[in-house]
């Protein structure tokens, strides 16, 4: 729903936090070891590039910015340049460490 809080799934560094034309307000988190999470169509961005975030820290609010027809979170997980199906990560407890 519009305005729902979005939280970091793991510790990471904000590498991008800005509006994009198609994907609207966007955030990319670098979790280390080539693992990135990407968030699009956000109503509000609560972080800045270079910022360190903790697991569970609020990073944004869900919205419908960019080319979107309704409030939702477009969430991607990438390992390097490869898209990963995040539902596979939910089969286990969603925690990962890249230290």
The domain spans of the chain are 5-90
Report pTM: 0.88
Q: Which two tokens stand for residue 78?
A: 């990438």
Tell me what pLDDT residue 20 has. Answer: 97
CATH topology for 5-90?
Glucose Permease (Domain IIA) (2.70.70)
Q: Is 34 within 8 Å of 15 (Cβ atoms)?
A: no
Beta bridge partners of 35: 79
Q: What is the pLDDT of residues 24-69, one digit of tens each?
A: 999 999 999 999 999 999 999 999 999 999 999 999 999 999 999 9
């Amino acid at each position: 729903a519009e305005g729902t809080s979005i939280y970091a799934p793991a510790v990471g560094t904000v590498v991008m936090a800005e509006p994009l034309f198609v994907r609207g307000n966007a955030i990319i988190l670098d979790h280390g070891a080539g693992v990135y999470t990407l968030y699009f169509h956000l109503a509000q961005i609560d972080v800045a590039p270079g910022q360190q975030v903790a697991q569970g820290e609020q990073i944004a609010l869900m919205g419908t910015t960019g080319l979107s027809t309704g409030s939702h979170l477009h969430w991607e997980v990438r390992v390097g340049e490869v898209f990963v199906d995040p539902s596979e990560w939910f089969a286990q407890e969603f925690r990962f460490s890249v230290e």
